[in-house]
């Protein structure tokens, strides 16, 4: 029987070969290119159609070099080529040459109308929901163009940034900032991330309010992961950008990307100069000493910066890619500030008037290097192994000169000098393994080790008889060493309507701080387990529900632990506390997501329970206000969040974000009970309108309600941002004008009133105006740093 089957199969095979040999098959080849710059177009659609009934005979898409190949035994056909943003082309006249029809180079032209429509569709930023995070895909929104990463974060639902650059998520600070899923010196307080990472470099931002065990447990409010652009075009691409603004915001950026089948080379160069003004008014009343101090402060922080990024990705084979990149940045900072003081008695009589002027400068070199290997075990890349090592170093060498001048009173004129030699190194080693067991189940596991070392050599010197004498109360070397080892594993199931993800992470922390001169030290060793649970259910294409729980930790960093004083204004001082212990938070949330025809919105409820709460404590003595962080107890925050996007017409979009939370705090400080409760809410409305002649306009209004902290009442805050953009040269060039805080109303106002003292502070930065223009090189897009693109 088997022999019979073999004979039948052999007969069919020979018969088919003979039949095929009797029919002459024609091979059609060609290369599709742009008519403007003669570059190849990959992934263009090529079809053979029957001339009689237009039915498709064969079809394909061009490869990375624009080349295609088709086969047909039919002769009465025509060829049709199409690609998004280009005019379709038909070829009906051609001559056969034997069994091959070589069409050579075929040029197609851009469709300016269609191209504009495509660009407009791609401009809108949008939010999508995944199992354990919210993903904000960055479009070319007006406020995004030429803006800093801080500006972008301030436009994301649930995220807010105050005028001092502090980031909050749902009204709470302690957010963990990652770059491409890894900690970075650019994301640290000392790294000035918001200056070196601009909106043009960002592809998307992931807001993870309840992180899974895959991520570090650091951050009580959650994690914000900034993902830089990864897609690339072949050949040489890039962009050049030029910005200017008031106050000083002048910069020039050049990005280039050269990509082949196996190699991707990218480079980025940026230079610039900018000024950050800040104005403060402070009034402190010391009732016991019958005095009231008024302080008026004007401070200009000026920065000259240079930034160079070089890197390469090399594809060893279809499954393995090696990435190597490095960044060097150099900043020169100068600060000019003037503080005017007026001291009165409580009857209103002036007793003293003096001023304190600051002139400081600093050199800040920093570098970062990364080596990464990714191995894919299947074509989709879902089964993969990723190993990476990142090293970053930052240094600040600063000298500040202070001069005290007395106009009224008996205070002696004085000269003071502050020297700072700050060094920080961060090294991160990660190994992540992802393995799908089927189309529904996925397992993730991995480990991470982070080494963070800081040395801060801080000296305050007073001039006595033309000699600089160190002040022993303010001169020391603070050393901070923290190592964290993490291990994690997660298991997820996602099928049809329902998905769930379970995870467990263990982290062991070794922290040592010490003051070299006084031999004071603090040693902490602790290990913690952090479980996570996430689930989602899709009721329909228009409605789904998410829920999650995670355990979090907030480890005090250098800013909170460093005991040195900031002496720009020696009557309004901040100092750290090396005895702080970590905060621990249990975070719960449920979010419902709706998608209708012209509107989408989500409503969520959440609760956070935090122990060892870290909060600033204010003390006033002899009119000197000192703010210092301390562990003050336990808090419970329950909130409601609403985000919506409404598109009534194709040319208009309205975004509304509301967040309300009620909180209660129980704690003690210096044997005094600090229990209180309150609420807080924030709202933002943003409108975007497309105008004739390729103009776009945007307006964003933000309101933040008053709220209460341990000792302070923070007053409400509101501000308006405007933007106008014009596309030029079919979108290859973009001109942008933005005005932030149009009416200069964005202010920080804090008030404290107790039996023995009163405190009032007002801070503001003022209005910022920026004008920018960008031009795309090759296939690079305007306002896009394509040098950050990867495989």
Residue indicated by tokens 């005895």: 579
The DSSP symbol for 118 reads H
Q: Which residue has the higher pLDDT, 600 or 123?
A: 600
**DSSP of 196-262, one letter per residue?**
HSBGGGEEEEEEESS--TTS-SB-SS-EEEEEEP----SEEEEEEEEEEEETTEEEEEEEEEEE-SS
Kindly state whether residue 212 falls inside one of the protein's structural domains: no
Which of 110, 129, 159 lies at the terminal end of a domain, its last residue? Answer: 110
The last residue of a domain, from among 110, 133, 160: 110
Task: Indicate the pLDDT class of residue 434, thresholds 50, 70 and 90.
Answer: very high
Task: Report the pLDDT value the prediction gives residue 483, as an integer from 0 to 100.
Answer: 96
Going by C-alpha positions, the residue among 284, 270, 289 that lies closest to residue 329 is 270
> How do 176-179 and 733-740 pair as beta strands?
unpaired
Residue 588's pLDDT band (boundaries 50, 70, 90)?
Answer: very high
Whether 260 and 278 have beta carbons less than 8 Å apart is answered as no
Element containing residue 11 per DSSP (H, E): helix 2-22
Does residue 393 contact residue 425 with C-beta atoms inside 8 Å?
yes
Q: Tell me, what CATH number does 85's domain have?
A: 2.60.40.10
Report residue 197's pLDDT band, with 50, 70 and 90 as the boundaries: low
Alpha-carbon gap, residue 376 to 540, rounded angstroms: 33
CA distances from 420 to 217, 392, 459, 557, 675 (A): 32, 20, 7, 18, 39
In this prediction, residues 120-145 reach a mean pLDDT of 61
Query: Does pLDDT of 790 surpass 60?
Result: no
Give the pLDDT score at 407. Answer: 93
Q: Is the pLDDT of residue 647 over 90?
A: no
Same domain, 498 and 644: yes
What percentage of the chain carries pLDDT values higher than 70?
Answer: 82
In terms of domains, do 105 and 242 share one? no
38 within domain boundaries: yes
**Looking at the predicted structure, is the pLDDT value of residue 664 above 60?**
yes
Distance between CA 586 and CA 563 in Å, rounded?
Answer: 29
DSSP string of 136-168?
EE----TTTTT-BHHHHHTTSTTEEE-TT--EE
* Banded pLDDT at 778 (limits 50, 70, 90): low
Determine how many CB atoms are found less than 10 A away from the CB of residue 471. 12
Question: Does the pLDDT at position 757 exceed 70?
Answer: yes
d(CA 785, CA 20) in angstroms, rounded, equals 53
- For the sheet containing 45-50, what is the strand order? 56-61, 45-50, 77-82, 89-91
* Mean pLDDT score, 101-113: 76
Domain membership of residue 174 (yes or no) is no
Check pLDDT > 90 for residue 432: yes
Per-residue confidence band for 172, with pLDDT thresholds at 50, 70 and 90: low
User: Domain limits at 31?
Assistant: 22-110
User: What pLDDT band is residue 196 in, cutting at 50, 70 and 90?
Assistant: very low
- Model pLDDT, residue 192: 42
Looking at residue 198, its pLDDT comes to 61
What is the number of alpha carbons within 13 Å of residue 175 lying toward its C-beta?
25
- How far lies 238's CA from each of 34, 233, 260, 310, 600, in Å? 18, 9, 15, 14, 35
* Residue 782: pLDDT band with limits 50, 70, 90: very low
Q: Is it the case that residue 21 has pLDDT exceeding 70?
A: no
CATH number, domain containing residue 550? 2.40.170.20
Which of 84-88, 491-495, 638-642 shows the lowest mean pLDDT across its residues?
A: 84-88
When the pLDDT of each residue in the chain is averaged and rounded to a whole number, the result is: 80
Provide the pLDDT confidence category of residue 139 given band limits of 50, 70 and 90: low
Q: Which of 110, 139, 155 is the last residue of a domain?
A: 110
pLDDT digits (tens, 9 = 90+) for 26-84: 888 889 888 766 777 876 788 888 887 777 777 777 876 788 888 787 778 888 888 76
Give the contacts of 245 (CB within 8 A, at least 6 positions apart). Answer: 274, 768, 769, 770, 771
| Residue 440 within any structural domain of the chain | yes
Enter the DSSP assignment of 185.
Answer: G
The total number of structural domains that make up the chain: 2
Residue 409 lies in a domain: yes
Most confident region among 264-268, 493-497, 551-555 by mean pLDDT: 551-555
Q: Which of 24-33, 311-320, 340-349, 444-453 has the highest mean pLDDT?
A: 444-453
Of 310-324, 557-571, 602-616, where does mean pLDDT reach its minimum?
Answer: 557-571
Please, what sign has the CA dihedral across residues 691, 693, 694, 700?
negative
The per-residue pLDDT for 170 is 63
Q: For residue 421, what pLDDT is reported?
A: 92
Whole-number pLDDT of residue 444: 95
Give the mean model confidence (pLDDT) for residues 271-294. 88
Whether residues 102 and 239 share a domain: the answer is: no
Give per-residue pLDDT as tens, 360-394. 999 999 888 989 998 988 776 689 999 999 998 98
pLDDT at 640: 94
Does residue 591 carry a pLDDT above 50?
Answer: yes
- Does residue 738 or residue 430 have the better pLDDT? 430
**Are residue 656 and residue 518 in the same domain, yes or no?**
yes
Same domain, residue pair 96 and 244: no
Asked if residue 247 has a cis previous peptide bond (ω within 30° of 0), the answer is yes
Q: What does the chain come to in residues?
A: 791
User: pLDDT class for 234, splitting at 50, 70, 90?
Assistant: low
The helix or strand, by DSSP H or E, that contains position 113, with its residue range, turns out to be helix 112-123
- Residue 573 is predicted with a pLDDT of 77
- The separation between the first and the last C-alpha atoms of the chain, rounded to the nearest angstrom, is 54
Residue 172 within a domain: no
Q: Which of 139 and 585 is assigned the larger pLDDT?
A: 585
Q: Do the domain assignments include residue 197?
A: no
Is residue 351 exposed (0-12), middle (13-18) or buried (19+ Cβ within 10 Å)? middle
Residue 12 domain flag: no
């Amino acid at each position: 029987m088997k022999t019979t089957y073999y004979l039948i199969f052999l007969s069919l095979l020979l018969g088919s070969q003979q039949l095929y040999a009797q029919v002459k098959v024609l091979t059609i080849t060609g290369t599709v290119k742009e008519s403007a710059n003669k570059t190849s177009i990959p992934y263009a659609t090529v079809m053979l159609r029957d001339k009689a009934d237009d039915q498709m005979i064969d079809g394909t898409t061009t490869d990375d070099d624009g080349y295609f190949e088709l086969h047909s035994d039919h002769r009465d056909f025509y060829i049709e080529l199409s690609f998004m943003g280009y005019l379709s082309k038909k070829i009906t006249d051609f001559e056969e040459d034997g069994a091959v029809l070589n069409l050579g180079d075929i040029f197609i032209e851009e469709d300016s109308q269609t191209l504009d429509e495509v660009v407009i569709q791609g401009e809108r930023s949008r939010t999508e929901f995944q199992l354990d995070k919210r993903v904000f895909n960055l479009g070319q929104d007006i406020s995004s163009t030429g803006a800093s990463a801080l500006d972008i974060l301030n436009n994301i639902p649930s995220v807010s940034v105050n005028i001092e650059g502090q980031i909050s998520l749902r009204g709470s600070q302690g957010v963990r900032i990652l770059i491409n899923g890894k900690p970075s010196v650019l994301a640290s307080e000392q790294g000035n991330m918001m200056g070196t990472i601009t909106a043009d470099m960002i592809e998307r931002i992931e807001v993870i309010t309840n992180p899974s065990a895959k991520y570090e447990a650091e951050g009580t409010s959650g994690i914000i992961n900034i993902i830089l652009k990864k897609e690339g075009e072949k050949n040489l691409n890039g962009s050049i950008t030029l910005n200017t603004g008031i106050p000083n915001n002048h910069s020039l950026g050049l990005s280039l990307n050269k990509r082949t089948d196996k190699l991707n080379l990218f480079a980025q160069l940026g230079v610039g100069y900018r000024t950050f003004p800040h104005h403060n008014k402070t009034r402190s009343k010391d009732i016991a000493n019958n005095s009231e101090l008024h302080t008026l402060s004007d401070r200009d922080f000026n920065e000259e910066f240079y930034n160079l990024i070089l890197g390469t990705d090399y594809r060893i084979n279809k499954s393995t890619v090696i990435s190597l990149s490095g960044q060097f940045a150099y900043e020169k900072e100068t600060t000019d500030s003037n503080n005017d003081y007026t001291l009165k008695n409580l009857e209103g009589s002036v007793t003293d008037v003096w001023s304190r002027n600051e002139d400081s400068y600093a050199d800040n070199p920093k570098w970062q290097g990364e080596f990464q290997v990714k191995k894919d075990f299947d074509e989709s890349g879902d089964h993969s192994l990723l190993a990476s090592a990142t090293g970053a170093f930052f240094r600040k060498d600063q000298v500040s000169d202070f001069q005290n001048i007395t106009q009224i009173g008996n205070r002696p004129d004085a000269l003071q000098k502050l020297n700072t030699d700050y060094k920080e190194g961060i090294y991160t080693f990660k190994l992540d393994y992802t393995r799908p067991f089927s189309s529904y189940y996925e397992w993730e596991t991995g480990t991470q080790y982070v080494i963070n070392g800081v040395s801060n050599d801080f000296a305050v010197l007073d001039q006595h008889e033309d000699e600089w004498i160190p002040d022993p109360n303010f001169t020391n070397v603070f050393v901070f060493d923290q190592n964290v080892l993490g291990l994690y594993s997660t298991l997820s199931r996602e099928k049809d309507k329902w998905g769930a993800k379970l995870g467990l992470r263990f982290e062991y922390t070794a922290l040592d701080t010490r003051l070299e001169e006084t031999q004071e030290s603090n040693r902490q060793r602790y290990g913690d387990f952090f479980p996570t649970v996430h689930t989602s259910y899709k009721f329909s294409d228009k409605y789904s529900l998410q829920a999650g729980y995670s355990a979090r930790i907030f480890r005090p960093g250098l800013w909170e632990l460093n005991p040195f004083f900031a002496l720009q204004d020696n009557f309004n001082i901040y100092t750290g506390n090396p005895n702080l212990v970590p905060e621990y938070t249990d975070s719960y949330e449920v979010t419902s997501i709706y998608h209708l025809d012209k509107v989408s919105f989500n409503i969520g409820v959440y609760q956070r329970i935090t122990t060892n709460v870290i909060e600033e404590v204010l003390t006033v003595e002899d009119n000197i206000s000192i703010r210092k962080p301390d562990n003050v107890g336990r808090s419970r925050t329950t909130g409601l969040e609403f985000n919506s996007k409404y598109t009534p017409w194709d040319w208009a979009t309205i975004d509304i974000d509301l967040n309300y939370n009620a909180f209660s705090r129980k704690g003690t400080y210096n044997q005094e009970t600090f229990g209180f409760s309150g609420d807080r809410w924030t709202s933002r409305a943003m409108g975007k309108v497309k105008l004739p002649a390729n103009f776009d306009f945007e307006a964003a209004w933000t309101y933040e309600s008053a709220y209460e902290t341990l000792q302070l009442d923070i007053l409400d805050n509101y501000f308006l941002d405007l933007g106008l953009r014009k596309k030029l040269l079919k979108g290859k060039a973009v001109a942008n004008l933005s005005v932030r805080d149009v009416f200069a109303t964005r202010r920080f106002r804090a008030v404290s009133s107790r039996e023995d003292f009163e405190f009032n502070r007002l801070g503001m930065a003022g209005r910022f105006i920026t004008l920018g223009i960008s031009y795309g090189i090759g296939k690079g897009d305007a306002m896009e740093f394509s040098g950050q693109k990867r495989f």
